[in-house]
Amino acid sequence: MSPNPAPTSDWVRDQARFDALQQKLVPLWTSIRALNQDEQTIVVVPSLDTDVALKGSELQAYEERFLFLLLLLRQPRARLVYVTGQAIHPSIVDYYLDLMPGVISSHARKRLFLVSPLDASSRPLARKLLDRPRMLERLRALVPNPDRAHLVPFATTWADRELAMRLGIPMYGCDPRLVHLGTKSSARRLFREEGVPHPIGREDLKSEDDLVDAIVGMRRERPSMKKVVIKVNEGVSGTGNANLSLVGLPPSGAPGEREAVRAALPRMAFELQSLAYEVFLEKLAEQQGIVEERIEATEIRSPSVQLRVTPLGEVELLSTHDQMLGGASGQSYLGCRFPADDSYAALISREAKKIGVRLGKEGVIGRFALDFVVARAPGEAWKAYAIEINLRKGGTTHPFLTLQFLTDGTYDPVAAHFTAPDGKRKHFVASDHVEGERYRQLTPEDLFDVALRHGLHFDQTRLKGIVFHMMSALPECGRTGLTAVADSAKEADDLYQKFLAILDAECPT
């Protein structure tokens, strides 16, 4: 994530141009909400900017993770331009088009435009487009009316903003000059300023000395603290996180405490196990970061709340989820269950709304999410602690919108329930990490065949079944994603587990 440019006169002029372009979202959003079937063009550029090494097919799979947006072609005057680094296999496109109820697929296909620079490098997709003037010209030609079009990025970087300006269409997402509000340090400040409960800790740390000072100060504040989490400001999915045990250190205030804390730091356990301590310190110096108490209790869960600020400035609670975490210390995102447990969904939604209102006042628009830890001892009520703000679409975005587009259901933010038009509540279990070496023998077509033969393909009549995503990573990485939709939490979980068992049986070692 690049820092804000220096406020030169050119930067000020560009900012004014971008702000004027963004104003086009207001009448467009009003028209879309009115469901009046006016023409519109959606340009999807799911660009990733990450320092985590991804194989070519894995990067392609992440770019295809938002192919559920093809379901927008149910609107008869919608045009969709979807850009990926490499061409999407035709069978995957057919799969999404065939999911749409009440639509003539040939009619939808005429309004779908797939664009690719055929570039498998790890550079962000937006940058690949900006480096190709002829491709930009082709994209502009696919937008017949720029006043009725918008760009949908994944995470809004300066390259995404520049792409929107070069195309002459607004961007539905946070202005990159505001993305600092989503860093770990800024999130802690916002939680404090808005009265949202969060773990004790320190922010804006940039060196080993800062870490020592922070931990010594926190131990003075809470002598019983046994473990801390250290995070760089811009780590994604837990990859910039580390755990440090404080057990065995001298008591707070005792002689030699600082030296003991410093000696313990290189023993921190990184979520990204290949990360070396010296490299972590370099990242900390570059990005800054935080240290905070690792919440411990008899029962702990990690829910999240998804919100958006509309171009009209309205703050909307969209969904709650229980995150499925894994990795070395249980901080890596693997998937989610929807909706979050009734016993704390309203609690975290209430706290998240405070941050949503604040971000709206700061000028943020688009989707974002807040991560929480909820904890309780036997017989006690849940306590919620805000952990992070993710000013981007995330792992809970695509399964929820897939459910919404397929069922035409609605989410009640007060009850924290999603209800289909037939009155039945809907639940899902979703994961981006259905993976195993044995799955490399499968192609996307094999995956479809397995689901159909076992009666698990999503059924539009019953509004339940399996929906796949990230299928391009199967042959090379043995990885795909899926969303299991059903009428209860247990049924969704059973469906998810059943498919995993069937997949293992279909792929003998």
CA dihedral 348, 354, 357, 358 (to 10 degrees): -120
Count of domains for the chain? 3
Map residue 249 onto helix, strand or coil: coil
The verdict on 270 and 366 lying in the same domain is no
The verdict on 356 and 210 lying in the same domain is no
The verdict on 207 and 166 lying in the same domain is no
In the listed set 293, 328, 356, which residue is the last one of a domain according to the structure?
293
Q: Per the structure block, which two tokens stand in for 247?
A: 């057990």
The verdict on 488 and 425 lying in the same domain is yes
The verdict on 320 and 289 lying in the same domain is no
The verdict on 307 and 434 lying in the same domain is yes
The verdict on 232 and 277 lying in the same domain is yes
Q: Per the structure block, which two tokens stand in for 417?
A: 């329930």
Peptide bond into 146 cis (omega under 30): no
The amino acid present at 447, given as its one-letter code, is: L
Q: Which domain holds residue 411?
A: 299-506
Identify the helix (H) or strand (E) that includes residue 21: helix 9-22
Instruction: Please give the pLDDT value at position 180.
Output: 92
Enumerate residues 6+ apart whose C-beta is below 8 A from 498: 456
The verdict on 289 and 388 lying in the same domain is no
> Within its chain, how far is the Cα of 280 from the centroid?
23
The verdict on 389 and 453 lying in the same domain is yes
In the listed set 253, 269, 293, which residue is the last one of a domain according to the structure?
293
Identify the helix (H) or strand (E) that includes residue 482: strand 479-486
CA dist., res. 439 & res. 452, Å (int)? 17
CA dist., res. 75 & res. 72, Å (int)? 6
The verdict on 350 and 466 lying in the same domain is yes
Query: Considering the entire predicted model, what is its pTM?
Result: 0.91
In a domain? residue 131: yes
The verdict on 211 and 126 lying in the same domain is no
486 beta partners: 427
Map residue 408 onto helix, strand or coil: coil
In a domain? residue 453: yes
In a domain? residue 181: no
The verdict on 475 and 489 lying in the same domain is yes
What is the full per-residue pLDDT of the chain (509 aa) written as tens digits? 444 555 566 778 889 999 999 999 999 988 777 665 789 999 999 998 766 667 778 899 999 999 999 999 998 999 999 999 999 999 999 999 999 888 888 999 999 999 999 999 989 999 999 999 999 999 999 999 999 999 999 888 999 999 999 999 999 999 999 999 999 999 999 999 999 999 999 999 999 999 999 999 999 999 999 999 999 998 765 567 899 999 999 999 999 999 999 999 999 999 887 889 999 999 999 999 999 999 999 999 999 999 999 999 999 999 999 999 876 666 677 899 999 999 999 999 999 999 999 999 999 999 999 999 999 999 999 999 999 999 988 888 999 999 999 999 999 999 999 999 999 999 999 999 999 999 999 999 999 999 999 999 999 999 999 999 999 999 999 999 999 999 999 999 999 999 999 999 999 87
Task: Find the CATH number of the domain harbouring 117.
Answer: 3.40.50
